Amino acid sequence: MSNNNPLAVVILAAGKGTRMKSDKPKVMHELLGLPMINWVLNSVEQLNPDRTIIVIGQGMDDLAAAVAPHETVVQITQDGTGSALKSAMGALQDFDGDILVLLGDTPLISLETMSGLISARYQCAQTGISVLGMYLDNPYGYGRLLIDNEGTLQDIREEKDASAEEKQVNIVNTGAFCMDATKVNDWLGELVNVNASGEYYITDIPEIAARKGVKTSVAVTNNPKEVQGCNTRIHLSELEQYAQVKLREKFMNEGVVMQDPSSVYLHHDTKISSGVLIEPNVYFGKDVSVGANVHIKAFCHFEGANIGDNTIIGPFARLRPGSEIGKEVRIGNFVEIKKSQIGDRSKISHLGYVGDCTMGKDVNFSCGAITVNYDGFDKHQTVIGDGTMIGSNVNLVAPVNLGNGTFIAAGSTITADVPPNALSVERGKAKTIEGWAAAYRKRKGG
């Protein structure tokens, strides 16, 4: 016997997820911005199976789109996990090999754990099924693995159907099975729905198989967090926390420094190079990459941004989609950047807004300067040449083009292009009245 048999993976994902109190299918809820079902698929792809089939419910078009180009089958009535597997078997009639059944609401299962489960299916000649079990201090809600004194699995009992004594059992079903494909239809044919839920349970299969002389081996995972199921929004938040911890650890192992990892929120696609220092309370949204040795100070928020090597950002900086930040750039507190390229070594050190802008290298964009990019209807571009010095509190009214090396005087509102190396100043004339303040105070009795 070998475990190099053809492998089909069936992911059960048709459930409505009533306990989530949500309009969308349960497996479409996201962890780190990626739907649960795609986490499962990412793990499954590492197994390189011959077939991958996702069981979905009727009308779950978003789910079918999220798993494309993988094959889907529709379970017409959501009457249990056994019935869901039956729906998939329609597409596996001639398949001869192993069927790895996974639950779509158990998203963080790893390659090692799946491989261990598949190996356990070959424990001995009589073993036709393996089930992935785990020990839990609080097994509430999970099916209990009923194992006899010889260590043989007799049955799996669902929470709702368990006696008080059975509820004490703390080794439970994670929901993942590996089955001999040639026998599955035979076992499924004997499923009945005589139980507390009135559903066809996949968990009845080991008992049916045992009656036919086929054993179920139990592969026990030593990492229960990885196979925690998601039935409620609280479970979802627990899984999110676990996935965050794993991703933070990956980055720290690759040379990223996090002063308070628990306060750094990552997206599943975040890219961070080695030598990056991240202070507490930093949020990474979709599509962010951070170059080597960047220093991210506390309380920054990033989405859709590429940050070049050796740049220093924050505290309290916001990069919005389309932010292309060069190398050795300095972005200080209360600066917002959107859809803009910032050239190497440029400085936007305090209180600024840069939107729809191409900023050259070595620009100094002083405190309170902003691009005025929106006229109430359309967005317009600002182009700032290399080595430009933009004074404090400047409004650059787009579309506007500042040549290389220009000086823009503090307080100016610039509405026309400025040629290279020119000074542009736009200010009301200052008027000084000697003694006016003293006279005013006297008048007021101050």
- Our CB check for Mg ion shows the closer of 106 and 406 to be 106
Residue 69: cis peptide before it, omega within 30 degrees of 0: yes
Written as one string, the DSSP assignment of 204-251 is GHHHHHHHTT-EEEEEEPS-GGGG----SHHHHHHHHHHHHHHHHHHH
DSSP letter at 143? Answer: P
CB 62 within 8 A of CB 25: yes
Which option in ligand UD1, Mg ion, none does residue 113 bind, with CB closer than 5 to 8 A by kind? none
Q: Which residues contact 73 (CB under 8 A, 6 or more apart)?
A: 53, 54, 55, 56, 87, 88, 90, 91
| Site for ligand UD1 contains 14 (CB under 6 A) | yes
Min separation Cβ 150 and ligand UD1, Å: 22
| Site for ligand UD1 contains 139 (CB under 6 A) | no
CB 44 within 8 A of CB 9: yes
Query: Which residue of the set 70, 235, 268, 350 is catalytic?
Result: 350
Which option in Mg ion, ligand UD1, none does residue 400 bind, with CB closer than 5 to 8 A by kind? none
Min separation Cβ 169 and ligand UD1, Å: 12
Written as one string, the DSSP assignment of 159-172 is GGG--HHHHT--EE
- Our CB check for ligand UD1 shows the closer of 82 and 352 to be 82
CB 72 within 8 A of CB 52: no
Min separation Cβ 55 and ligand UD1, Å: 5
CB 122 within 8 A of CB 3: yes
From 206-214, 228-236, 245-253, 345-353, span contacting Mg ion (CB under 5 A)? 228-236
Report the C-alpha dihedral over residues 304, 306, 311, 316, rounded to 10 degrees: 0
Beta-strand relationship, 71-75 and 98-103? unpaired
Cβ-based burial of 264 (10 A; exposed 0-12, middle 13-18, buried ≥19):
buried
- Our CB check for ligand UD1 shows the closer of 199 and 303 to be 199
| Site for Mg ion contains 17 (CB under 5 A) | no
| Site for ligand UD1 contains 172 (CB under 6 A) | yes
**Encoding tokens for residue 387?**
């080595």
| Site for Mg ion contains 158 (CB under 5 A) | no
- Our CB check for ligand UD1 shows the closer of 81 and 270 to be 81
Annotation marks residue 267 as catalytic: no
From 160-168, 223-231, 315-323, 355-363, span contacting Mg ion (CB under 5 A)? 223-231
| Site for ligand UD1 contains 13 (CB under 6 A) | yes
**Encoding tokens for residue 41?**
């698929």
Min separation Cβ 224 and ligand UD1, Å: 11
Given 35, 128, 229, 343, the residue binding ligand UD1 (CB under 6 A): 229
For 371, list phi and psi in degrees, rounded to 5: -95, 135
Which option in ligand UD1, Mg ion, none does residue 174 bind, with CB closer than 5 to 8 A by kind? ligand UD1
Which option in Mg ion, ligand UD1, none does residue 240 bind, with CB closer than 5 to 8 A by kind? none
Task: Give the CA diameter of the chain.
Answer: 107
Query: Directed axis angle between helix 181-188 and helix 81-89, to 10°?
Result: 130
| Site for Mg ion contains 123 (CB under 5 A) | no
| Site for Mg ion contains 231 (CB under 5 A) | yes
- Our CB check for ligand UD1 shows the closer of 131 and 305 to be 131
Among 393, 417, 416, 420, CA closest to 406:
420
| Site for Mg ion contains 232 (CB under 5 A) | no
- Our CB check for ligand UD1 shows the closer of 155 and 336 to be 155
The Cα–Cα gap between 408 and 397 comes to: 13
| Site for ligand UD1 contains 72 (CB under 6 A) | no
- Our CB check for ligand UD1 shows the closer of 105 and 155 to be 105
Binding residues for ligand UD1, rule: CB under 6 A, are 12-15, 26-27, 55, 75, 78-81, 83-84, 103-106, 142-143, 156, 158, 172-175, 201-203, 229, 231
Binding residues for Mg ion, rule: CB under 5 A, are 105, 229, 231
Name the residues annotated as catalytic.
Answer: 350
